């Protein structure tokens, strides 16, 4: 019996000597995969992840690479929640967002809003602003008091969205929608402000905001 036991120990020792390093590496890999999967699930919820449906338009972790689609990263959770509920109810109209929002539960909306609110923002490196328009836009933003609602760094807070480093085309589309009455806000302030701007002034504001470097909170 002792001979068999010693033989088994000897075989195990030989196997460890030959494959020990590989076994340790395999253990580390398995541990890494398990830890990463748990962190991913904690951050984004159970699979399939709701955020996966958002990536195509809004980019990885909410930093859009398409100027037509807004970046969600760093937006206040309260603002994101309100907009998703507005899409779901039909108060805010968008052909793709409406049907998607209607499939979301209250918990789904809170998960998405809180996830994107936590993500770091990034500047749009591909946007090359016209310097004349950017300077004009800066003056307009200052004189129109945009910081009163959207914050000193225009990073948004509570129910007011982040404007800094948002996509130029998206910003201009929304300003035009407010000006034309196609989009409304609860206070009516954006509609009044945008309607008082000329098309060129709205373009200048969009240029300035899109060119800003986001200031992380």
pLDDT digits (tens, 9 = 90+) for 182-209: 999 988 999 999 999 999 999 999 999 9
Q: Count CA atoms within 13 Å of residue 166 on its CB side.
A: 25
pLDDT of residue 49: 73
Residues 65 and 70: their CA atoms lie apart, in Å, by 9
The pTM of this model reads: 0.78
What is the model's pLDDT at position 18? 72
Q: Tokens standing for 207?
A: 């240029």
Using only C-alpha atoms, what is the Rg of the chain?
Answer: 25
pLDDT digits (tens, 9 = 90+) for 53-97: 899 999 999 999 999 999 999 999 999 999 999 999 999 999 899
What are 30-59's pLDDT values in tens digits? 655 556 555 555 555 554 578 888 999 999
Section 102-130 average pLDDT: 93
Distance CA 160, CA 196 (A): 20
Q: Which residue has the tokens 């500047």?
A: 123
State the pLDDT at residue 126.
85
DSSP character string of 104-124:
--HHHHHHHHHHHHHSPP---
């Amino acid at each position: 019996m002792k001979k068999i036991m010693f033989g088994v120990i000897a075989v195990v020792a030989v196997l460890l000597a030959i494959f020990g390093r590989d076994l340790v590496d395999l253990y580390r890999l398995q541990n890494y995969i398990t830890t990463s999967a748990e962190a991913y699930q904690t951050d984004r919820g159970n699979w399939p992840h709701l955020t996966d449906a958002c990536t195509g338009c809004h980019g990885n972790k909410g930093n859009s690479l398409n100027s037509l689609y807004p970046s969600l990263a760093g937006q206040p959770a309260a603002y994101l929640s309100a907009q998703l509920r507005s899409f779901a109810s039909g108060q805010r109209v968008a052909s793709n967002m409406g049907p998607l929002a209607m499939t979301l539960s209250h918990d789904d909306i809170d998960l998405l809003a809180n996830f994107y609110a936590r993500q770091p923002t990034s500047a749009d490196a591909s946007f090359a602003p016209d310097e004349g328009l950017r300077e004009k836009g800066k003056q307009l933003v200052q004189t129109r008091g945009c910081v009163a609602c959207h914050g000193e760094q225009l990073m948004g807070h509570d129910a007011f969205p982040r404007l800094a480093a948002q996509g130029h085309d998206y910003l201009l589309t929304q300003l035009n929608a407010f000006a034309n009455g196609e989009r409304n806000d609860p206070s009516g302030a954006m509609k009044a402000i945008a309607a008082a701007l000329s098309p060129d002034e709205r373009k200048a504001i969009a240029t300035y905001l899109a060119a800003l470097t986001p200031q992380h909170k």
